[in-house]
Amino acid sequence: MNYPISNQENQYTNHNIDHSCPEVRVIDNFLSEEFFTSLVQMIDYLPWTYDRYSVCEGDNQPQFVHGFYKDFEPTSEYWKYIRGVLPVLRPLGGLYRIKMNLTPSKETLIQKPFHVDGIEEDGSVMIHRVCVLYLNTNDGYTIFESTGEKVMSVANRAVLFPGHLRHAGTNCTDEPARIVLNIDYF
């Protein structure tokens, strides 16, 4: 099935993102309203893969995933519809991975295990940055282990942070699912 939204570019690019910033940065209205709406509409058309766990085996947090980009190359025909995020993010050294996570709701809010993205085969953490873009508003959040700071899931909010920061997400209880776009970049 073809996705009905045109391959449009995102016109909202004035966030002045500092890639050397060692801290967590939260940006509301990250994408233009038109482009953000097209991303949300795309959710219904994506082929999803079911993962029995989110972070590690046995974490009791199943999720659905659609991978767009991994190991420096596109992995989905839908890649062309999300690349409009890049003019806003302006990665300096390239992309490592882009995926969308859909975590079904539960009756209680459950925090996933703390983790870092981008673990190398030798167990080291690659030097990179992470952008989590929230695609719907719900009572879930991202929390950072070192500070306890919580960033609530608000539609079109992005949280940007250094890839070495241990963080965790949650499910939600007030919407059918918590949906995020996760971008690991250099």
d(CA 107, CA 103): 13
Note the pLDDT of residue 1.
38
Q: Residue 65's CB: how many other CB atoms inside 10 A?
A: 16
- Pick out the chain residues at pLDDT < 70: 1-21, 120-121
Give the predicted TM-score (pTM) of the model.
0.88
Note the pLDDT of residue 19.
55
Residues 65-119 pLDDT 10s? 999 999 889 999 999 999 989 888 888 788 999 999 999 999 999 999 999 987 7
Extract the runs of DSSP E, i.e. beta strands, from the chain: 25-27, 49-51, 63-70, 73-74, 95-104, 129-134, 141-144, 150-152, 158-162, 167-168, 177-185
Note the pLDDT of residue 3.
41
The correct CATH number of 25-185 out of 1.20.1070.10, 3.40.710.10, 3.40.50.970, 2.60.120.620 is: 2.60.120.620
Could you tell me if 138 and 174 are in contact, meaning their C-beta atoms sit under 8 angstroms apart? yes
Terminal CA-CA length for the chain? 33
d(CA 162, CA 124): 14
